[in-house]
């Protein structure tokens, strides 16, 4: 979707590009530098905070993180091009001095606060000029900061949902708030054990807790060796992952990153191939889920080998690929592009998701894609 969240200004970099006309002028950040600065600070926090074990398999350094987001977000999706166009077109006002102040305050935040507790000054960086009912494509064009694109694109500016009121997604909430379990909420501090949270947003919980994907409440992280439910990316303490022993018994296992081609990998023992070294686990023992680390297969490469020496390797999901395996498993499978909306599917082969009619469907609520 083309909506640009306030997080884009919340995650701007510490290394600022500023200009002063004289010694008394307030420092400012040029609009053209927002994107580069955003990626830089996000990666500084992303790598430095070290709260997601699996992410360390492919984003192990700040430089790798910057390369990844520039390729995925900037090059493929256009970055904040829509935002810059809106500013140049007059539907969004940009305050360069507020941007600089926002950056300094965000850069000084703790890992827990970062991305959750937006400093008040950050709300002044982008201001919309379009009244409710007016045409829009991104939230920031609207005075209310909410562009409803659920029915058409362009969408229409609509009143934002107040703190404490019901919501379907965070875009609907007023600046600085998130939609947590159907209610717009403003972050004050990490919520305590047993309180509501949004699955996938583990940092909303207090330190040492994670958001349970089914119960949707904050629960204590599990130590290495403890029983887990595979109920969230951060269910196990950092450095460990929740793995199945093959008999539906899940345990938090310490992860070891394997960086050398042809070395042993095991999805049960936590021996995981380093994606940052362009490696994936070629599984040849489907009972023990073990194999060897091999180069990640790309579009058209073999990912499934049939016959007595049967093996399977995950395709490069950053290139939006899946392993297309024949139904009878009698011939080799190759990496193919994930399917667009409307295509027939079996599961795991869609850009969005495979619905009950076995057709690919978008998981976005926005018509502006």
The tens digit of pLDDT for each residue in 131-168 reads 999 999 999 999 999 999 988 889 999 999 999 999 99
pLDDT value of residue 359: 93
Residue 320 covered by a domain: yes
Q: Which of 160, 180, 203 is the last residue of a domain?
A: 160
Residue 200 covered by a domain: no
Residue 258 covered by a domain: no
Residue 275 covered by a domain: no
233 touches 54 (CB < 8 A)? yes
Residue 14: which of 116, 102, 129 has the closest Cα?
A: 102
Q: Which pTM value belongs to this model? A: 0.73
pLDDT value of residue 1: 37
Residue 46 covered by a domain: yes
The tens digit of pLDDT for each residue in 301-321 reads 999 999 988 999 999 988 889
Residue 302 covered by a domain: yes
Residue range of the domain that includes 339 = 297-362
Q: Which of 116, 140, 160 is the last residue of a domain?
A: 160
Q: What's the domain count of the chain? A: 2
220 vs 52, higher pLDDT: 220
Residue 281 covered by a domain: no
Residue 357 covered by a domain: yes
Per-residue b or e along 227-264, where b marks 16 or more CB atoms closer than 10 Å to that residue's CB = ebeebbbbbbbeebbbbeeeeeebbbbebebbeeeeee
Residue 10: which of 88, 80, 107 has the closest Cα?
A: 107
Sequence-distant (6+) residues with CB within 8 A of 21 are none
Q: How confident is the model at residue 364 (pLDDT cuts 50, 70, 90)?
A: low
Q: Which of 160, 191, 213 is the last residue of a domain?
A: 160
The answer, yes or no, to whether residue 257 has pLDDT greater than 80, is: yes
Q: What does the alpha-carbon distance between residue 34 and residue 54 come to, in Å, rounded to a whole number?
A: 28
């Amino acid at each position: 979707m083309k909506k640009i969240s306030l997080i884009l200004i919340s995650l701007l970099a510490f290394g600022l590009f500023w200009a002063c006309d004289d010694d008394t002028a307030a420092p400012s950040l040029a609009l053209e530098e927002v994107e580069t600065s955003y990626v830089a600070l996000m990666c500084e926090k992303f790598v430095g905070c070290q709260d997601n074990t699996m992410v360390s398999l492919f984003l192990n350094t700040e430089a790798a993180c910057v390369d990844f987001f520039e390729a995925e977000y900037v090059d493929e999706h256009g970055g904040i091009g829509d935002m810059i166009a809106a500013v140049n077109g007059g539907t969004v006002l940009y305050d360069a001095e507020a941007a600089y102040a926002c950056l300094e305050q965000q850069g000084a935040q703790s890992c827990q606060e970062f991305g959750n507790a937006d400093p008040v000054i950050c709300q002044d960086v982008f201001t919309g000029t379009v009244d409710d009912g007016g045409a829009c494509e991104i939230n920031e064009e609207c005075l209310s900061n909410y562009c409803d694109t659920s029915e058409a694109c362009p969408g229409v500016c609509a009143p934002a949902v107040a703190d404490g009121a019901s919501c379907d997604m965070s875009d609907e909430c007023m600046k600085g708030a998130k939609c947590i379990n159907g209610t717009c909420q403003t972050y004050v501090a990490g919520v305590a054990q047993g309180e509501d949270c949004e699955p996938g947003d583990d940092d909303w919980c207090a330190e040492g807790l994670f958001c349970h994907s089914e119960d949707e409440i904050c629960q204590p992280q599990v130590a290495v060796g403890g029983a887990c439910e595979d109920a969230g990316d951060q269910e196990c303490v950092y450095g460990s992952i929740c793995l199945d022993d093959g008999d539906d018994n899940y345990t938090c296992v310490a992860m070891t990153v394997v960086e050398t081609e042809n070395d042993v990998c095991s999805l049960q023992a936590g021996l995981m191939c380093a994606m940052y070294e362009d490696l994936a686990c070629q599984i040849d023992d489907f009972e023990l889920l073990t194999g060897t680390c091999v180069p990640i297969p790309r579009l058209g490469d073999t990912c499934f080998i049939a016959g007595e020496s049967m093996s399977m390797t995950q395709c490069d999901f950053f290139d939006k690929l899946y392993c297309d395996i024949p139904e009878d498993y009698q011939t080799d499978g190759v990496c193919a592009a994930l399917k667009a909306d409307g295509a027939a599917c079996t599961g795991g082969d869609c850009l969005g998701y495979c619905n009950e009619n076995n057709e690919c469907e978008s998981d976005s609520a926005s018509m502006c894609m």
